[in-house]
């Protein structure tokens, strides 16, 4: 079972405001100008919403990083930011030991069952296996061989980064926020 609780993490960050609000197209937003995270209330509460918050907190921590700066300057692909956020999120939720322990505890190799046991979404588990560090390549390959995906991992992930502030009419309109 994962020990990472993104809601506690967010509460301990006194310079970040987290709101749960209707967002139609995306699971979550990070608005660096306001230091505001918005999580879509259209997602089920529980592991799905927690994963969305953890993902946005990863974006917060990637501010100022080489990958984010390069993408904003147009010299790197914005999808690199997404990959970095997904990598960081999956690492916060799961160590490789957690995955091995989960397999031992449940005697299941099914990725979806394993993710449920570990308290994460299948996407988080799949991302943890997908984004290996150089020094854990062999161990990751071992885990990747073990875990079976009998059902497709649904990746309807969409995430918004809005550099303009929430007060901007364009941003406000996209959020559906009932702000006067």
Closest residue by beta carbon to Zn ion: 159
**How far apart are CB 157 and Zn ion at their closest, in Å?**
8
Per residue in 28-46, is it b (16+ CB within 10 Å) or e — as a string?
Answer: bbbbbebebbbbbeebeee
Encoded one letter per residue, x for contact with Zn ion by CB under 5 A and - for no contact, window 65-84 reads: -----------------x--
Cβ 84 to Zn ion shortest distance, Å: 9
Of the residues 85, 118, 126, 129, which one makes contact with Zn ion according to CB under 5 A: 85
Q: Could you give the string, one character per residue 30-69, with x where binding to Zn ion holds by CB under 5 A and - elsewhere? A: ----------------------------------------
Q: Per the structure block, which two tokens stand in for 148?
A: 């079976």
Contacts to Zn ion by CB under 5 A: 82, 85, 159
């Amino acid at each position: 079972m994962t020990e990472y609780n993104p809601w506690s993490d967010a509460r301990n960050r006194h310079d970040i405001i987290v709101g749960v609000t209707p967002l139609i197209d995306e699971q979550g937003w990070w608005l660096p100008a306001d230091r505001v995270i918005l999580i879509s209330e259209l997602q089920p509460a529980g592991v799905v919403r927690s994963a969305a918050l953890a993902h946005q907190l990863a974006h917060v921590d990637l501010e100022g990083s080489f990958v984010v700066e390069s993408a904003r300057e147009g010299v790197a692909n914005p999808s690199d930011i997404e990959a970095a956020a997904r990598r960081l999120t999956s690492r916060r939720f799961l160590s490789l030991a957690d995955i091995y322990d989960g397999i031992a505890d449940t005697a299941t190799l099914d990725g979806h069952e394993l993710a449920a046991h570990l308290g994460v979404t299948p996407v988080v588990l799949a991302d943890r296996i997908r984004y290996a560090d150089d020094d854990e390549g062999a161990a990751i390959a071992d885990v990747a061989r073990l875990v079976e995906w009998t059902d497709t991992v649904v990746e309807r992930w969409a995430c918004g980064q809005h550099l303009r502030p929430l007060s901007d009419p364009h941003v406000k309109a996209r959020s559906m926020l009932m702000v006067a």
